[in-house]
Amino acid sequence: MNAQSNASLQPLYAAHLDIQRRHTDEALAATGFDALAIYAGAQHMQFLDDQPYPFKPNPHFRWWTPLAEAADCWIVYRPGQRLQLIFLQPADYWYKPPEVPNDFWTDAFDIKIIREASEAKAHLAGLTRCAFIGEWREEFTDWGFTGRNPEPLMHRLHYVRAFKTEYEVECMRRASRTAARAHKAAEAAFRSGASEYEIQMAYISASGQTENELPYPNIVCLNANTAVLHYQNLERTPPAEMRSFLIDAGAQLHGYAVDITRTYSQRDDDYAAMIKAMDEQQLGLCSEVRAGVDYAEIHLSAHRRIAKILRDFDVITASPEEALASGLSSVFFPHGIGHLLGLQVHDVAGFTVSPDGKQKARPPGHPYLRLTRTLEPGFVVTIEPGLYFIDQLLDKARTSPLGKQINWQQVERFKPYGGVRVEDDVVCTSDEPENLTRPAFANAN
């Protein structure tokens, strides 16, 4: 991301801060606090070693600033006052100290530079009724905080995070372009016969993001491995026969994630037709992302649509409605249709239906759905229907009454391909939904 395009984010960021201040002021007033001290977090060392695990700032910190090199930094927020960034720049010759930030967002902050983490205490002293937000450390015990991640306050802040500002959506639009470019490189690597590992390297190189900068571990799988929902191995040699390729991989900009899955067939076969059918149903589901729609209903709609594909391909004999009611569709589609997306890939507050933290349960029989809220303008959600031939679930179904409604010959035919998933990121608006992913793919080369 060059300086020019970052500069174009400045007015959007300023408007984002105005909205965030309003939300935060309301949350503080409702819960009896005067200030927030948001701790980005500390480096964590590996056991018996002097090497840290990769560092990621606390998402509350990233909500205010895109600063990524932020270990032991703090943000202080007080209604009506300028934001403060307490910025740790250690005197160090082992590692390169982070540079004092100077970017499209820094005008909003008074930046206080500290050389040691403990110096933050002096800058935080004197704050009254101040809530601490972040990963707690024992050394903060006498720093004067009134609450540690107080639940009523956290509920309010999490609830409003679902409503993305135009700045946040624009970050995700731009991150979608990065991810689409990398997806195209991964597809080309697959078509050229690359191994899972080589495809992963092609993706990372084309994205320009390191593994730690990418928003989640890529899922890169060939053939039957595509039936493993969060497949994590990367085989170093290509399979003798290349049949199918599933990649679930994202990108981020200024901390905002995108989450995208594509599936490809090596040949023009029935499996390719199944991918096409899934793609069509997925677009149908994307168009269901409308203000006022209960997201759990989209999940149930996905079950019906996937059951229809299964029946059209002669894998099951039940009708879509029967397959949903009996649990047959869950044998093949055992995860949720999607989730909120933002600073976290599985963004917070998917079940929180009011600012005071009231929770809405999942529909019975759907334990992996991550979002049950009614959609409102500004929500960004994923839509990720899938169907898979998973031994563990099929073996269980075989010995149950559901087994009679499965065409086991067809199951054996499709098993070597693994599964199919198509995942886009969609913004709910007051009108037509905005699909962030499809235009990014259409324009990527």
- Judged on CB neighbours under 10 Å (0-12, 13-18, 19+), 137 is middle
The CB-of-70 to ligand GLY minimum distance in angstroms stands at 24
Among 225, 226, 382, 437, binds Mn ion (CB under 5 A): 382
Q: Would you count residue 424 as binding Mn ion (CB under 5 A)?
A: no
Q: How many residues bind ligand GLY (CB under 6 A)?
A: 6
* Angstrom distances, CA of residue 191 to CA of 202, 235, 242, 337: 12, 16, 9, 28
Q: Would you count residue 259 as binding ligand GLY (CB under 6 A)?
A: yes
Among 248, 288, 424, 425, binds Mn ion (CB under 5 A): 248
Closer to ligand GLY by CB, 23 or 370: give it.
370
Closest CA to 418 of 264, 300, 207: 264
Among positions 192-231, residues that touch Mn ion (CB under 5 A) are: none
Closest CA to 72 of 107, 121, 144: 121
Closest CA to 232 of 247, 217, 245, 243: 217
424 binds, among ligand GLY, Mn ion, none (CB under 5 to 8 A by kind): none
The CB-of-423 to ligand GLY minimum distance in angstroms stands at 6
Q: Would you count residue 424 as binding ligand GLY (CB under 6 A)?
A: no
103 is in an annotated binding site: no
Quick one: tokens of 428? Answer: 């709910």
Q: Would you count residue 248 as binding ligand GLY (CB under 6 A)?
A: yes
Q: How far is the C-alpha of 339 from the C-alpha of 182, rounded, in Å?
A: 23
Q: How far is the C-alpha of 15 from the C-alpha of 9, rounded, in Å?
A: 10
138 is in an annotated binding site: no
Q: How far is the C-alpha of 258 from the C-alpha of 256, rounded, in Å?
A: 7
Q: Would you count residue 425 as binding ligand GLY (CB under 6 A)?
A: no
42 binds, among ligand GLY, Mn ion, none (CB under 5 to 8 A by kind): none
Q: Would you count residue 347 as binding ligand GLY (CB under 6 A)?
A: no
The CB-of-382 to Mn ion minimum distance in angstroms stands at 4
Closer to Mn ion by CB, 248 or 347: give it.
248
Question: SS in 3 state form for 13-49?
Answer: HHHHHHHHHHHHHHHHHHHCCCEEEEECCCCCECCCC
Q: Would you count residue 347 as binding Mn ion (CB under 5 A)?
A: no
Among 55, 140, 197, 216, binds ligand GLY (CB under 6 A): 216
259 is in an annotated binding site: yes
423 is in an annotated binding site: yes
The CB-of-369 to ligand GLY minimum distance in angstroms stands at 12
Backbone angles phi, psi at 14, to 5 degrees: -60, -40
Among 288, 384, 424, 425, binds ligand GLY (CB under 6 A): 384
Q: Count the neighbouring beta carbons within 10 Å of the beta carbon of residue 319.
A: 14
384 is in an annotated binding site: yes
Spatial neighbors of 4 by CB under 8 A, at least 6 apart, are none
The secondary structure of 371-418 as a DSSP string is: --SBP-TT-EEEE--EEE--HHHHHHHHTSGGGGGB-HHHHHHHGGG-
How many residues does this entry show for the chain? 445
Query: Which residue positions form the known binding site for Mn(2+)?
Result: 248, 259, 339, 384, 423
* Interface residues toward ligand GLY, by CB under 6 A: 216, 248, 259, 345, 384, 423
Q: Which residues bind Mn ion (CB under 5 A)?
A: 248, 259, 382, 423
